[in-house]
Amino acid sequence: MIGVDSRKEPFVQTEVKASKRKLRKESSLWWMYLPALAVVCLFTLYPFLNGLKISFTNWDGFSQTYDYVGFQQYARLLKDPDTWGVVGNTLLYGIGSTLLQNIFGLLLALLLNQSIRVKAITRTIVYLPVIISPLVMGYIWYFFFAYQGGALNDLLMFLGFQKIDALGNPSLNKWIIVFVNTYQFVGIAMIIYLAGLQSITKDYYEAAQIDGATAFQQFRTITLPLLMPSITINMVLNIIGGLKLFDVVVALTNGGPGNASQSMSTFMYNLYFQQQDAGYAATQGILMAIIILILGMAALIFFKRKEVEA
Amino acid sequence: MDYLNKGKKTFLTIIALIITLFYLVPFYILITTSLKSDNDFSSKWIFPKSFSLENFANAWQQANLGNAFLNSIMITFFAAVFLIFFGSLAAYPLARRQTKLNKFIYMLFIGVMVIPPLTALVPLYKLVVNIGLMNTHTVAILNNVAAFLPLTIFLYAGFIRSTIPKELEEAAKIDGASTIGTFFRIVFPLLKPITASVLIISCVFIWNDYQFAIFFLQQDNVKTLTVALSGFFGQNANNQNLVAAAAIMAVAPMVILFLILQKHFIQGLASGSVKG
């Protein structure tokens, strides 16, 4: 387990025993992770557990006192029509952008895996938004979709159509948020799929070609099964990221009109800072943690199982 | 056959070019917008006839971007240094000493990764106010360190387990070197590739952080770039040209770094995403 493998070096037996004893005495070396543990406990774990406690109170966020109200905030959460609208949006952002990022990420990877001349520049440009702040990316797309002087409306008017208020339209703006999130992070999925594709040996394809398999058959029976580990990573990663969406929503619609495009993150932020409803905000936070945990685990288990089958 | 292949290649090249152009559209719009004066109502798709850099100078001053740059640089730099130092130090025993305690602590660090940062927001805010750290660089640094430590430890531990030969440390041990001496003189230098990844991941995420910064950095003198920009956007929603200029200046350093160190960025971020 620790120390030198004594079977390999029988002649230093006594020395090994001595050093093993020494190792066992200081075996955990816990002081080395103490600083890291302290920071994580103080700034993540303790607040999280405290959040659980606050979700059972009616705290307003600044008073020194508050009352325990049992499961009242949870009952309120279940009855609140806003909750379910917001959860619906969050699921759309999470699942919608996950599917789109994976489909387009895979297609891009397949394209860039060919020996075409422009692939280096395409890869760079598609990856570029990944390193830009999601807030700024949201503003950049705002200039495109804005009702007043947005680039989209400039184009529509030039072509003789009516201007549209894309960001103010509650059934359209959610899809714009999904689109912007996908546009920004499809590069990560693309890179992971590209690495997966490059690790598949050419022999499989050559054998399949000799057997007369079509390109689609090769994709279905060779590429897809061997890409399963990459698919798992991308799915889990994107779903967790998408369910936490905050910056892009703030930049594009600020959750509006009303609560129409609010995500759970932005909704919580408003409950706490604008409505001084800290107890309820904490309860919404717990619901968010539960949803992320369940969907993240579900995706992980589902795709891991596919990996084994493949 | 050769002819067909060539045709297919041309077709795929054209598709790749279309995608590239599509990806550049928002950046093109951003640039034309930033170069127009506020009485120029021409289409965003065309460049202004006479363009000036006035918006850039005004935005720099009005949004107090100089100050915001300094804040972002300070916070990102110190958070990255602490992440690398605490993270590598913590990962070493967790990777090498499989005691019951260490296994538990490792699982704890990994488990913390699934907590959405915003879930802890309400009590965290209370804690920060209570210990008097509101509107300080310290809180932004510590928050970011706490948020990215689990991933950092995960990456370092994986790297130590898979690529650093144990024999090296054992040789040093037999020579009588202390654990901490062995770590800093022998192990840490060998961690360079993963340290580079950690550095890139943490710099990109912390530089771009908005969720934490907006809560804890509300005074003008401590605002980071993202917070300064969102405030500026709120005040100048009608003057998109000015906001566009500010946005360009805010993203320029990261974009330039990316274009220079592209390979490292893509590798680093990809290794960071393989945490699922």
Which residues numbered 246-265 in A keep a CB inside 8 Å of some CB on B? Answer: 246-247, 250-251, 265
CB atoms A237 and B275 under 8 Å: yes
Spans of chain B, pLDDT less than 50: 1-2, 275-276
Query: Is the Cβ–Cβ distance between B201 and B150 less than 8 Å?
Result: no
- Tokens 């799929």 sit at which residue? A193
Residue B180 lies in a domain: yes
Query: Is the Cβ–Cβ distance between A45 and B127 less than 8 Å?
Result: no
Residue B22 lies in a domain: no
Query: What global pTM score does this model have?
Result: 0.88
**What are A264's two structure tokens?**
């759970």
Handedness of CA A140, A145, A146, A151 (dihedral sign): positive
CB pairs under 8 A between A and B: 291
Query: Is the Cβ–Cβ distance between A145 and A166 less than 8 Å?
Result: yes
In whole angstroms, give the CA distance from residue B63 to residue B229.
7
CA atoms within 13 A on the CB side of A59: 23
The CA-CA-CA angle for residues A243, A259, A246, to 5°, reads: 35
Nearest residue of B to residue A50, measured between CA atoms: B123
In whole angstroms, give the CA distance from residue B97 to residue B80.
26
Kindly list the domain boundaries of chain A, sorted by start residue: 80-309
CB atoms B23 and A129 under 8 Å: yes
B-chain residues within 8 Å CB-CB of A3?
Answer: 170
A-chain residues within 8 Å CB-CB of B122?
Answer: 47, 51, 54, 61, 268, 272, 278, 281-282, 285
Instruction: Find the DSSP H helices in A80-172.
Output: 81-91, 97-112, 119-127, 134-145, 151-158
* pLDDT value of position B82: 96
Write down the mean pLDDT value for chain B.
Answer: 88
CB atoms B89 and A29 under 8 Å: no
Which residues numbered 36-55 in A keep a CB inside 8 Å of some CB on B? Answer: 36-37, 39-40, 42-48, 50-51, 53-54
Q: Structural domain of residue B113, as residue ranges?
A: 57-273
CB atoms B29 and A19 under 8 Å: no
Q: Does A126 touch chain B (CB under 8 A)?
A: yes
Residue B48 lies in a domain: no
Going by C-beta distance under 8 Å and a sequence separation of 6 or more, which residues neighbour residue A205? A218, A222
CB atoms B270 and A15 under 8 Å: no
Going by C-beta distance under 8 Å and a sequence separation of 6 or more, which residues neighbour residue B208? A131, A132, A133, A134, A135, A136, B226, B254
* pLDDT value of position A6: 42
Q: Which residue from B13, B45, B179 is facing A118, i.e. has the nearest CB?
A: B13
CA atoms within 13 A on the CB side of A236: 23
- State the nearest Cα–Cα gap between A221 and chain B, in angstroms: 23
How many distinct structural domains can be found in chain B?
1
B-chain residues within 8 Å CB-CB of A4?
Answer: 170
* pLDDT value of position A20: 52
**What are A26's two structure tokens?**
């200081």
pLDDT in tens, B84-130: 999 999 999 999 888 889 999 999 998 888 787 777 877 888 889 88
Residue B35 lies in a domain: no
Residue B235 lies in a domain: yes
Q: Which residue from B15, B170, B243 is facing A111, i.e. has the nearest CB?
A: B15
* pLDDT value of position A35: 94
Q: Domain A80-309, what architecture?
A: Orthogonal Bundle (1.10)
Q: Which residue from B30, B93, B124 is facing A29, i.e. has the nearest CB?
A: B93
Query: Is the Cβ–Cβ distance between B89 and A35 less than 8 Å?
Result: yes
B136: CATH: 1.10.3720.10
* pLDDT value of position B260: 92
Mean pLDDT of successive 10-residue stretches along chain A, which has 310 residues:
42 50 61 93 91 89 85 91 93 95 96 90 94 94 90 90 91 95 94 90 88 88 89 88 92 90 92 88 91 91 80
